[in-house]
Structure 1
Amino acid sequence: MGLTIKPVTDPAFRKYGKVVTGYDAGELLEKMKETPLPDEVVYVASVKELEELAVSKKIEKKLYGQLPIQVGYCNGHNKNMNAVEYHRNSEINVAVTDLILILGRQQDIAPDYTYDSGNMEAFLVPAGTMIEVYATTLHYAPCHVSEKGFRCVVILPKDTNTDLEPAGEAVNKEDRLLFAKNKWLIGHKEGGLPEHAYIGISGENLSV
């Protein structure tokens, strides 16, 4: 099913996040041109060269309130939702190319931790735009607008999306969703996810 794609400036985006202004991301955009752009999707959580940039240090001091952060990227080619994830903190994205985000709300996850993909909306984020994606916003890898693919800066609290340490028995149902550090994930059966991923999305594997 094709999704209606709204601009990120549409009022409908306000429940998912906001456009961040006042930061000059020029050096980040320039440095990102050196990152790979594969046929699939690649995510790298932390890149030293990106983290050392002055704008990244300013984002850590101001946007993240002096919490330690990591600056990485998600690049590639993608047209499908495949899964949704959320964190306990906001995520900052900088669109290096035009890209589309398919978004939903954590509040719409059912008590049994299933989720209906029909609740999701799609938004176009133009190249050069910085956005905050709220902690309660369900998201996953961006989708490309052009066949040339997409590049996106991903900024999160340090160690997010890295490998889990042994945590013992699950305390409640949500614990089954914990996929990586500070990353809770619900997959779609057609999403091509690893065997241990929690599959709980009903409805179509949305595409743009």
Structure 2
Amino acid sequence: MGLAVKPVTDQAFRTYGKVVAGYETGEILKEMGSTPLPDDVIYVPSVKELERLDIAKEIEKRLYGQMPIQVGYCNGHNKKLNAVEYHRDSEINIAVTDLILILGRQQDITSEFTYDSGLMEAFLVPAGTMIEVYATTLHYAPCHVEEGGFRCVVVLPRGTNTDLEPLGKTRSKEDRLLFAKNKWLIGHEEGGLSEDAYIGITGENLSI
């Protein structure tokens, strides 16, 4: 079943994030034009060519309160939910192409760490739009609008989505979700994830 898509300017988006204005995105949009666009999805957490740009320095100084950040990208072709993830911090996205985000609320994860995909909403982020996705927002890879695929800049605190160090003794059920540094993930059984991913999404593997 296809999911209804609302514009990112819709009032409903305010639960999940906000549109960020006042930043000059032209340089980073141009730089992103040379990044790979595979038939599946590629995510690269940190790209030096993006991090040296003036907008990266401004985002670090202002939107992250002078805490260290990484600037990378998520590109490709996708029409499915497959999983949800969350971080302990907001994520900044810049849509290089039109793209769709499927979003939910961390507050709707059950005490057993399952999540009903039927609670999610989809939003169209037009090319050139910069948004903040709140820390409590469940999200995953964007979906493409045009058959040409999607490109999206992804800004997060430095070290996010890199390899974990051993956790040792489990202290809470949430530990099972920790999939990478600052990345808690709940997968769908049809999501094609690795064997070590925690599977806990109930309902449909949503499709755009």
TM-score (norm 1): 1.00
**Partners of 1:177 and 1:166 in 2: CA distance:** 14
Which residue matches 1:110? 110
1:159 aligns with 2:159: yes
In the TM superposition, residue 207 of structure 1 has moved relative to its aligned partner by: 0.4
1:15 aligns with 2:44: no
**Partners of 1:25 and 1:168 in 2: CA distance:** 42
Q: Deviations over 1:14-47 (max 9, x none)?
A: 0000000000111010000010000000000000
**Partners of 2:130 and 2:111 in 1: CA distance:** 33
Gaps of 5+ in 2: none
Which residue matches 1:30? 30
In the TM superposition, residue 175 of structure 1 has moved relative to its aligned partner by: 0.4
Which residue matches 1:141? 141
Which residue matches 1:188? 188
1:52 aligns with 2:49: no
**Partners of 1:200 and 1:170 in 2: CA distance:** 18
In the TM superposition, residue 169 of structure 1 has moved relative to its aligned partner by: 1.5
In the TM superposition, residue 119 of structure 1 has moved relative to its aligned partner by: 0.3
SS in 2 for 1:147: coil
**Partners of 1:161 and 1:169 in 2: CA distance:** 21
1:97 aligns with 2:86: no
Q: Which moved more, 1:11-20 or 1:165-174?
A: 165-174
After superposition, residues 167-182 of structure 1 pair within 5 angstroms as 167-182=167-182
Which residue matches 2:125? 125
Q: Residue 25 of structure 2 aligns to which amino acid in structure 1?
A: A
- The share of aligned pairs that are identical, in percent, is 78
In the TM superposition, residue 204 of structure 1 has moved relative to its aligned partner by: 0.2
Q: Deviations over 1:152-180 (max 9, x none)?
A: 00000000000001110210000000000
Q: Deviations over 1:101-135 (max 9, x none)?
A: 00000000000000000000000000000000000
Q: Residue 152 of structure 2 aligns to which amino acid in structure 1?
A: C
**Stretches of 4+ aligned residues off by more than 6 angstroms:** none
TM-score (norm 2): 1.00
**Partners of 1:46 and 1:55 in 2: CA distance:** 15
CA RMSD of aligned residues (A): 0.3
Which residue matches 1:73? 73
Q: Residue 207 of structure 1 aligns to which amino acid in structure 2?
A: S
Aligned length: 208
